[in-house]
Structure 1
């Protein structure tokens, strides 16, 4: 297995028109979750990915499992819950460049995940374990499950990749979020923070200063996301370097860009690319996803990704 990831995916209701949610009368149902987005992104690029989660024994769970399995992701370690529902969330395209998200995930099936349900075999054969700061915010039992996952990974030579993916709404308070996100970052080999997440953890600094602060936590490789400006990378073998981003004429839906970035970076590393080249690919993936409505719908295959990076995508293909 190339990459294993653990986390909650929810039924996503996307409005069919722009404006405030109170004026919306029709929605399209999709699926969204940071970890499954990464797994799907990797699968579309030809890698073997596994997503671990828990779903309600309901129609949303049935549809989601079918969709993610259909994308080529291994779902053999997904469990079902008869007493807790699959979570849902809504997007609101209030106006251009103003997208809001509303979660209804309290006491969801995924929040009930437990360490005792996680088998060593689910992780020990993976090259990478991908985790985010969302899962530990769901419940204490989810944190225990991640601790076990990290223990299995470290015992089997699986490298740990951590995306802070800060979602303050799911934490009890800001200090709890700060404490646990720093903890999981410090246990990882690679971290993928954004500027706003770094500021939340360390206060106002420059990107270079943030990178050093992450290194001070004991992290070897830091990949700081800088939005449209690209990324800043640094590791024990790579000096601090800025990697350029890609220009997008119109952002349709920014949600999921960070997950696409993670998938692009991991794909590059799995392909044996140098860190800078892998991050450039991640920047391209993140840009491409913002041009399509939906969390996973804009994730490209290899040929589309190569065309975008080469600047050869046509307006119309005949």
Structure 2
């Protein structure tokens, strides 16, 4: 077994069909998915990055594996199932060039990574394990996530959770909320937007949301708020990390870039213990998110380490 450390992520590998013009008749194919973006974003920062997912025996899966390899993401712990077909997301453009998610197609929702297919050794040398709620609406994916979190905690791996609220994928909003809250309480670092906090804490008042959130005793919460920066919740206190203003072009992958930045900081410096370390960690994540927002695309816009000095 290798003794080298790495960051580990788990999730669904999507393919995004993004319209070339607002006529929405011709599309370009891109690799996508929130956890994919984080895994690739971490790799672009120079971190050894491994990703657990499931792919099949078809051209789209070949594309996914080739793109992940090109991004330097290690798929040695991924599962191959010949009949699996990757989820497709069709993205249309408005006349103002804004992106709208037009269609979500999962041809084989019943084929997921199963709990027993997780390799324990994948967690042995992982520094962090990152996951999100994107596939938890599926019973098998939910059980696999529970098993992965259990393995990570047993091995002393730091858990990074992006709540990534997508209510329309769930049977009910309440089931979505309850499932996400379960995993928040098990994680060391949780990232959410202000709007996601309002949804999860069932309030539209910021301070009420903060008060309810702190009852979960999460060691570190990142509340990202775009151009307003990030509010970090730690030890019952709020730490505000401002962000350098940029002219946004596309904010699709900014949150994923933020997480990649946090994982980079934790990989090299350990879990942030002091307020100064928390501020430094969030500020680095903010830089990555801001840089990502200045470019078109999500994964294609994930910054590289040498670009950070540009901001």
What is the aligned counterpart of 1:254 among 244, 251, 255?
251
Q: Distance in 2 between matches of 1:215 and 1:97?
A: 39
1:95: Cα distance to partner?
A: 4.3
Q: Match of 1:228?
A: 227
Q: Distance in 1 between matches of 2:155 and 2:56?
A: 31
1:211: Cα distance to partner?
A: 3.2
What is the aligned counterpart of 1:279 among 272, 278, 282?
282
Gapped regions of structure 1 (runs ≥ 5): 309-318
Gapped regions of structure 2 (runs ≥ 5): none
Q: Distance in 2 between matches of 1:110 and 1:162?
A: 24
1:58: Cα distance to partner?
A: 1.0
- The count of corresponding residues between Structure 1 and Structure 2 is 301
1:92: Cα distance to partner?
A: 1.9
Q: Distance in 2 between matches of 1:289 and 1:108?
A: 31
Q: Which whole-Å deviations, capped at 9, do the CAs of 1:112-163 have from their partners, x for residues lacking one?
A: 22101101111232111111011212x1011110111111111111011111
1:206–1:193 CA distance, 2 compared to 1 (3 A) = same
Q: Secondary structure at the match of 2:223?
A: strand
Q: Secondary structure at the match of 1:192?
A: strand
Q: Match of 1:76?
A: 76
Q: Secondary structure at the match of 2:161?
A: strand
Contact 2:198 2:206 in 1 (8 A): no
1:95–1:218 CA distance, 2 compared to 1 (3 A) = farther
1:104: Cα distance to partner?
A: 2.9
Q: Distance in 2 between matches of 1:35 and 1:207?
A: 27
Report whether the alignment pairs 1:102 with 2:106. no
1:231: Cα distance to partner?
A: 0.3
Greater Cα shift, 221-230 or 290-299: 290-299
Where does 1:141-156 land on structure 2 (aligned, <5 Å)?
A: 141-156=140-155
Moved over 6 A (4+): none
TM superposition score normalised by structure 1: 0.89
Q: Secondary structure at the match of 1:134?
A: coil
1:110–1:88 CA distance, 2 compared to 1 (3 A) = farther
Report whether the alignment pairs 1:9 with 2:6. no
1:306: Cα distance to partner?
A: 2.2
Q: Match of 2:33?
A: 33
What is the aligned counterpart of 1:296 among 293, 299, 310?
299
1:98: Cα distance to partner?
A: 3.9
Q: Distance in 2 between matches of 1:84 and 1:303?
A: 37
Q: Secondary structure at the match of 1:112?
A: coil
TM superposition score normalised by structure 2: 0.91
Give the aligned CA root-mean-square deviation in angstroms: 1.9
Q: Distance in 2 between matches of 1:214 and 1:119?
A: 33
